[in-house]
Amino acid sequence: MIKTPLCDLLNIEYPIIQGGMAWVADASLASAVANAGGLGLISAMNADADWLRSEIRKARTMTDRPFGVNIMLMSPFADEVAKVVVDEGIGIVTTGAGSPLKYMPAWIGAGIKVLPVIPSTGIARRMEKGGACAVIAEGGESGGHVGELTTMALVPQVCDAVSIPVVAAGGIADGRGIAASFMLGACGVQVGTRFLVAEECTIHRNYKDKIIKAKDISTIATGKRLGHPVRCLKTPFSREFFRKEYDPSVSDEDLEALGAGALRLAVQEGDEKRGCFMAGQAAAMVTKEQPVKEIIKEMFSEAEALLGGAGKWVS
Ligand code: TUI
């Protein structure tokens, strides 16, 4: 059995956190992951307080286990959703795409455990000082908003930089990734792309099919010019975005406008032309649709077999 300090910290059976994927991580996916013994997350994405409140209440009808909320700090509604998690008695918050420091005193005061997703050692140290109970070190292999460093280089450096638990993220989609993460010093993993094809994941059929068909070189990181690169599948949308990014006659405003709403089009409409299908580099390792329970069980039995009793977390 694999048990790590993350299991005790978050009151979960398996040391796995489901990525807080915008438009994807809803009550259905979060409650399925919670029921399977991992940490499920609802993504507050760019939604307002009312949407988040109702999604939290919906998830509570679908599971008795703890689940968390991911707050995307670039959201125009970040201030209001930051209050909702307190009012609704959420116990665990993860954050992405920015610094959560201004919200942390209120969250910690309300007894919320805060796990910021971080792309560098400097930010990891700032989060530890700010009272984070753990950090999620996410390498650029991940989907969505990505940092510069790879998981392989980032995770051990973050482990050396902080004394709180470190969760590895980016490029992890099977037991090999879990076993490797432990060897790098992490005590848990965050997985996004593999959960895109979970049966309980409510995204459009086209999105799941594209993930299942993806190859190693099927993703691209666009938007570097705007300061927040996003990894997604190569599609007509992302190729056009990439081209325009290197065209000096296209303004930053026009580029931002091109990206607006594109993730929703992918998730809800399965729009193959205009959709932005965010996905990590591990997409090629994701080959079939499965129930969440099966995904988690399969990943951890593979990790256990590989570790063969080695490492401090296996018993
Ligand atoms: O946040 C993510 N992944 C995301 S957010 C997202 S929504 C989006 N949609 C369209 C365009 C852009 C985003 C999709 N995927 N991952 C976690 C992550 N956080 N990656 C990088 C960071 C990060 C960056 C800066 C965390 C902290 C940070 O701090 C800055 C500072 O100054 O402290």
* Statement: residue 312 has pLDDT above 80: no
Task: Among 121, 145, 151, 230, say which to mutate for ligand 1: greatest number of ligand atoms within 8 Å of CB.
Answer: 145
Contact, 228 vs 22, CB < 8 A? no
Determine the average pLDDT of the residues in 172-192.
Answer: 98
Average pLDDT over residues 176-194: 98
d(CA 59, CA 61): 5
- CB-ligand 1 contact for 144 (6 Å cutoff): yes
| Cβ of 233 below 6 Å from ligand 1 | no
**pLDDT tens digits along 122-167:** 999 999 999 999 999 999 999 999 999 999 999 999 999 999 999 9
Q: Is the CB of residue 120 below 6 angstroms from any atom belonging to ligand 1?
A: no
Please work out whether the CB of residue 170 comes within 6 Å of at least one atom of ligand 1. no
Dump pLDDT digits (tens) for 47-57: 999 999 999 99
147 touches ligand 1 (CB under 6 Å):
yes
Residue 69 has pLDDT above 90, yes or no: yes
**Shortest-distance Cα residue to atom 33 of ligand 1:** 99
DSSP assignment of 36-60: TTSBEEEE-TT--HHHHHHHHHHHH
- CB of 267 shorter than 6 A to ligand 1: no
Of 212, 218, 254, the C-alpha closest to 235 is: 218
Q: Check if 81 has its Cβ closer than 6 Å to any atom of ligand 1.
A: no
Whether 301 shows a pLDDT value over 80: the answer reads: yes
Q: What is the pLDDT of residue 305?
A: 94
What digits encode the pLDDT tens for the residues 70-120?
999 999 999 999 999 999 999 999 999 999 999 999 999 999 999 999 999
**What spacing in Å lies between the alpha carbon of 146 and ligand 1's midpoint?**
7
Protein residue whose Cα sits closest to atom 12 of ligand 1: 145
Q: How close is the Cα of 76 to the center of ligand 1, in Å?
A: 14
Between the CA of 138 and the centroid of ligand 1 the distance, in Å, is: 10
Under DSSP, is residue 71 helix (H, G, I), strand (E, B) or coil? Answer: strand
Arithmetic mean of pLDDT over the chain: 96
Q: Which atom of ligand 1 is nearest to the CA of 46?
A: 7
What would the two tokens of residue 244 be?
């325009």
Q: Is residue 310 over pLDDT 80?
A: no
CA of 148 to the centre of ligand 1 (A): 12
Instruction: List pLDDT tens digits, range 212-258.
Output: 999 999 999 999 999 999 999 999 999 999 999 999 999 999 999 99
C-alpha neighbours within 13 Å on the C-beta side of residue 147: 24
Indicate the length of the chain as a whole number: 315
**138 CB under 6 A from ligand 1?**
yes
154-164 pLDDT per residue, tens: 999 999 999 99
Q: Say what percent of the chain tops pLDDT 70.
A: 100
Helix H or strand E segment including 124: helix 121-129
Mean pLDDT, residues 38-61: 98
- Do the Cβ atoms of 179 and 7 come closer than 8 Å? no
pLDDT of residue 309: 74
Q: Extract the tokens encoding 302.
A: 């593979």
- Phi/psi for 198 (5° steps) reads -65, 145
